[in-house]
Amino acid sequence: MSRKDWDALANPGWSLGHGGRLERAPTLESVSQETESTSQENDFNPFICHDFLSILEESGCVGPQAGWIPQHLVLEDPDERPVAALPCYLKTNSQGEYVFDHAWADAYERAGGSYYPKLQCSVPFTPATGRRFLTGARVDRRAAIGALLGGATALCQMREASSVHITFMNEAEWEAAGDEGFLQRMDQQFHWLNHGYADFDAFLGDLASRKRKQIRKERREALPADIEIEWVTGPDLTEAHWDAFFEFYQDTGSRKWGRPYLNRAFFSLLGERLGERVLLVMAKREGRYIAGALNLIGSHTLFGRNWGCIEDHPFLHFEVCYYQAIDFAIARGLSRVEAGAQGAHKLARGYLPTPTWSAHYIDHPGFARAVADYLEEERAMVARENEVIRTEMSPFRKT
């Protein structure tokens, strides 16, 4: 499937120029119509574009050796023109997914089954929310989702896979998958929302006094006189920046909770093809880069992805990953920051719990019933936790 055809489905209404420069697509065909999905279609998401997914493959981060074998589903009209697509991979492990099913795999294997291979419909190594069912502007989106779900279950059976997992989808897709009999799972991340703030101080003004003082203290201590911050994006990105960042990334991956899924070639290709959608926040001390965070820029959302450092300094992680992201979002007029998977520590920095959605098909009826019972309890627990955090632990002033 060509880059042009894929991107017309992935991000209708947008086109990518050289280096990932974002433009409104000029053709009538690519303009979104008023449907339930317009908010998602109008928000350009860099992770589902052809360039990002192909970079993962070309760099060797995705492929048989990584346990991610591309099996993308494409729905065609009677004239064999692509009208919808679903990024899909045949998986031989559960690494790099961020919706954890290791316990399911263990139980399935103990019962005598083979959990792998399975089908994973997602963006590899990327816990960022967004559309997974990619449809053009003039397609019956609900019907296309149903057809792709049917295709996914058929592919599951054809490949003798145990299951299908669609992760970090949007809520409307989640509901549609539930209507088609997929099991529904719910989790949460912490996202920051821009309520039209003029600057960081305006954001702080919405926080409780104690939280406001704490953040100001953290920012002062994170940046003593000898540490400076740079925002690097677009044509300013160089191989030297990627060399430094890759060293940070490997340091994080070497820790017991980390795993470096991305190789050095990936970052060079990312800068070359999507540099305009990249924001590197780099901390420098005495002329040397010591820490950095990789973000990707959507039309309305800044997506925080990876962080690393080679020197430890108090609160520098919070500054580089969270506070600088807020500064950038305000400066660019972006409506939200997604700070990645997990991390309740983000709450005190103004990031609030936000539901994330996934849908699952288990081919074995008995195991599917057991998972369904588990997910019903898990959804209730996540919803309760979300409500408690928002009502009793929010860093924002009570109104």
Q: Per-residue pLDDT for 346 more than 70?
A: yes
Q: Per-residue pLDDT for 30 more than 90?
A: no
Kindly report the pTM of this predicted structure.
0.93
Residue 395 is assigned to a structural domain of this protein? no
Same domain, 178 and 213: no
Q: What is the pLDDT of residue 40?
A: 45
Same domain, 374 and 282: no
Q: What is the pLDDT of residue 27?
A: 36
> Positive or negative CA dihedral for 229, 233, 236, 237?
positive
Same domain, 65 and 172: yes
Same domain, 129 and 26: yes
Same domain, 59 and 203: no
Q: What is the pLDDT of residue 36?
A: 35
**Residue 250: domain span:** 191-351
Q: Per-residue pLDDT for 214 more than 60?
A: yes
Same domain, 287 and 371: no
Dist. CA 83–CA 135, nearest whole Å: 6
Dist. CA 231–CA 280, nearest whole Å: 6
Residue 86 is assigned to a structural domain of this protein? yes
For 225-281, write each residue's pLDDT tens digit.
999 999 999 999 999 999 999 999 998 877 656 678 999 999 999 999 999 999 999
Same domain, 195 and 134: no
Same domain, 16 and 155: yes
Same domain, 48 and 160: yes
Residue 397 is assigned to a structural domain of this protein? no
Model confidence at 38, pLDDT cuts 50, 70, 90, reads very low
Residue 398 is assigned to a structural domain of this protein? no
Model confidence at 341, pLDDT cuts 50, 70, 90, reads confident
Q: What is the pLDDT of residue 1?
A: 84
Count CA within 13 A, CB hemisphere, residue 356.
23
For 99-148, write each residue's pLDDT tens digit.
999 999 999 999 999 999 999 999 999 999 999 999 987 899 999 999 99
For 276-318, write each residue's pLDDT tens digit.
999 999 999 999 999 999 999 999 999 999 999 999 999 999 9
> Positive or negative CA dihedral for 39, 42, 43, 46?
positive
* The amino acid at 102: H
What CATH number does the domain containing 69 carry? 3.40.630.30
Q: What is the pLDDT of residue 223?
A: 96
Token representation of residue 331: 């400066």
Q: Per-residue pLDDT for 32 more than 50?
A: no
Contacts of 147 (CB under 8 A, 6+ apart): 75, 84
For 150-187, write each residue's pLDDT tens digit.
999 999 999 999 999 999 999 999 999 999 999 999 99
Same domain, 342 and 367: no
Residue 177 is assigned to a structural domain of this protein? yes
Q: Per-residue pLDDT for 31 more than 80?
A: no
Q: What is the pLDDT of residue 258?
A: 62
Could you tell me the CA-to-CA distances from 104 to 66, 84, 126, 355, 360 in Å, in that order? 21, 30, 21, 22, 12
Q: What's the number of domains the chain is made of?
A: 2
Residue 396 is assigned to a structural domain of this protein? no
Three-class secondary structure of residue 359 per DSSP: strand
Same domain, 36 and 80: yes
* The amino acid at 356: T
Token representation of residue 69: 């074998």
Q: What is the pLDDT of residue 24?
A: 62
Q: Per-residue pLDDT for 345 more than 70?
A: yes
Same domain, 161 and 52: yes
Model confidence at 398, pLDDT cuts 50, 70, 90, reads confident
Residue 288 is assigned to a structural domain of this protein? yes
Contacts of 22 (CB under 8 A, 6+ apart): 14, 15, 16, 44, 276, 277, 299
Residue 174 is assigned to a structural domain of this protein? yes
Token representation of residue 205: 């003004």
